[in-house]
Chain A
């Protein structure tokens, strides 16, 4: 084996040296000719340079020409001394926090009629709170890929990898692929990081359907049509690690997401984007805690198919052309979810299991108006409809409906108003007030949040 390699190396070496030897054998005349050609080339170059210098010397005095006419490389923030910092990724850190005044005990907050998601939901805690600190590192890997990671440092001193993904840079024909852990392209708000939200929290429909935002570890492929109208089609698959799916101990793809976005301008002042998406997921023993009629905690679990679709739209109207002076942003999404499968009651005790079927929906509509430079005001209305689930254990008379207090039909609503002041592109101070009936009991909670959001480091760029 080794001798084989040695022979190959020898052959390769011979192949490289032979032509050189051939050159050496060439007569002096051809060398001379080459030298002459080189000389001529340099002559013309020098002449061209001289001509440029004379031109520059004749340029008007006081101009910039005499300073440095040569193209200049972009200065790097890092040291030029080869300390290895020049390729550091762009780093940005978002700090946020709030002061909250919440009338009803936030421990009792829940979304009536919906299976709890175990996500980041609810108005948070009372008094002063530290929000998530988001640390993002991003850079191109090579000519083919870029990579980005966002770590969320929670007030509970935990680090969560919020997103960590690669993205292609060089696929042909308008394709891009993304892989790793990332927010799904489902809906409009799902991909938006919390610091860029127009309100202090996600609409109730996102909290109920995804526990905030849907993400998983997987792959995404997107295709953008080569048309003046913005048409984007995308598909995702993954391991289904997050609500409403569960990670199942199985090979292969777990669920699929399909989405389409269309967008454009209407006149000079209006731009819009509309979309639709479909999310097909499976859950296995998706457990949720509840309290039974005797006040004791027990665990139920859902196993089956979970299918969600959404239609979303956003419209921005900029009457004076400059969005910093005045802009109206209208946005809304409607989602519906059908779940079919089996519902297990008290998995650690009596463990009764039978069919389950539900159709649930929710929507929000919000408007944010920038009425002065730096100042924005917003209004949002949230509405959910839990529907009436078909629970075979209840229909057969085996259990009373009150055995599933979390699934009692409800129509949660919420109204939010907000006002924010943005001293610069990097800071935002916000006041938000909610009339909150997420519990669906017509007993309105009042929530006031005073929030700050600061960004330091690399200048971020946001999607539409």
Chain B
């Protein structure tokens, strides 16, 4: 028992004696925020991304490896609006890390600087897995990314004042390239405006809204509720009158229901990356939107 305490103490002292790392340690909940922190932080940040684009970020295990990353993080970058509510609070609570507690400078929520769509009128779970603060899948509107980038830059500068100028310089450079890219994407996708589409879940709402796609139906009857055979049957009848041009899927979605519907309403499906890393082409944030628009244009040709 005493030798146990002694070795624990020795470990502690060792840990305290380790030199502090120069780069800020950032735990990002999704690959998009991870990519954004890298764009702004450059070599002054060390980013760990908690989830992959093949996961549904609503439901992720609070894995021990993530608790360990939360322990050493200087900054947690989350989407917020209760997207990560099933697991992030556990990571923060178990981390024993006071720097990343909500309300501290080390806790950042992207949703806090955005105005969210689809704020529910009624808070009732019979409506499905709704988010009281609005739709949290904000990353598919690039203008949101630009806004989050600004706030994130301020936060990085606050946490590492010595590199504030470095972050601001990189953010400025990113913003210039980003605004140019938005113009390019908007002109490339101009022909898509008004296209009737079927989505999987309300997580493509921001994309539809940005590109002017007309969302005629969702495969999920209610947020988070998988479709039943009966509901899909009704959908076929409903869509027969005004068929969609394409059914949009995210990389993490199970394609079964979409494929089934695709055959019946004679509209192709397209798998979109949804997040950085969702497709081989979506290597970074620029790749995410390049690939999303390329795939939409290719399928709607």
Contacts and interface: CB of A to CB of B under 8 A. Distances in A.
Interface in B2-22: 4, 8, 11-12, 15-16, 18
B59 interface: yes
Contact of A72 (B94, B115, B128): B115
Contact of B68 (A65, A229, A316, A324): A229
Contacts of B226: 373-374
A174 interface: yes
Contacts of B123: 77
Contact of A322 (B8, B55, B69): B55
A60 B143 contact: yes
Contacts of B212: 62
Contact of A173 (B15, B59, B147): B15
Given A171-B98, A461-B90, A65 B143 contact: yes
B115 to A, nearest CB: 4
B54 A223 contact: no
Interface stretch (A107-115, A256-264, A392-400): A256-264
Contact of B115 (A67, A171, A374): A67
A71 B112 contact: yes
Interface string B132-155: 110000000101100100010000
Contacts of B286: none
B96 A68 contact: no
Given A75-B133, A263-B65, A459-B82, A225 B11 contact: yes
A197 interface: no
Contacts of B254: 325, 373
A464 B62 contact: yes
A300 B281 CA distance: 73
B52 interface: yes
B86 interface: yes
B54 A230 contact: no
A264 B54 contact: no
A323 B69 contact: no
A135 B242 CA distance: 49
A233 B8 contact: yes
A393 to B, nearest CB: 33
B89 interface: yes
Given A173-B15, A173-B16, A223-B12, A461 B65 contact: no
A9 interface: no
B231 interface: no
Given A226-B72, A264-B65, A64 B144 contact: yes
A265 B86 CA distance: 20
A426 B147 CA distance: 34
A9 B15 CA distance: 48
B132 A425 contact: no
Interface residues of A, number: 68
A28 to B, nearest CB: 37
Contact of B96 (A77, A222, A462): A222
A165 interface: no
Interface in A446-464: 456, 459-464
Interface string B92-117: 01111110010100000000111101
A463 B8 contact: no
B96 A258 contact: no
A268 B51 CA distance: 10
A424 B147 CA distance: 34
A464 B115 contact: no
B1 interface: yes
Contact of B63 (A59, A173, A424, A464): A464
Interface in A261-282: 261-265, 268, 271-273
A265 B63 contact: yes
A74 interface: yes
Contacts of A169: 98, 101
Contacts of A323: 55, 59-61
A320 B54 contact: yes
Interface string B196-240: 000000000000011010000000000011100000000000000
Interface in A155-186: 167, 169-176
A77 B52 contact: no
A225 B11 CA distance: 8
B85 interface: yes
B285 to A, nearest CB: 18
Given A258-B1, A459-B85, A462-B62, A64 B129 contact: no
B186 A60 contact: yes
B242 to A, nearest CB: 22
A426 B68 contact: no
B64 interface: yes
Interface string A119-156: 00000000000000000000000010010000000000
Contacts of B63: 263, 265, 271, 316, 464
B96 A223 contact: yes
A63 interface: yes
A175 B96 CA distance: 5
A322 B81 CA distance: 21
A348 interface: no
A227 interface: yes
B178 interface: no
A224 B224 contact: no
A321 interface: yes
9 contacts: A59-B143, A60-B186, A64-B141, A75-B133, A171-B96, A263-B68, A265-B65, A318-B61, A463-B62
Interface of A: 59-60, 62-65, 67-69, 71-72, 74-75, 77, 143, 146, 167, 169-176, 222-231, 233, 256, 258, 261-265, 268, 271-273, 316, 318, 320-325, 373-374, 423-426, 456, 459-464
Given A224-B96, A264-B65, 13 more contacts: A60-B182, A63-B143, A69-B115, A71-B112, A74-B81, A75-B133, A170-B101, A224-B95, A227-B68, A228-B69, A230-B64, A461-B88, A464-B62
Please give me the 7 A-B residue pairs with the lowest Cβ-Cβ distance, nearest first: A263-B64, A321-B54, A230-B64, A230-B68, A174-B96, A170-B98, A271-B63
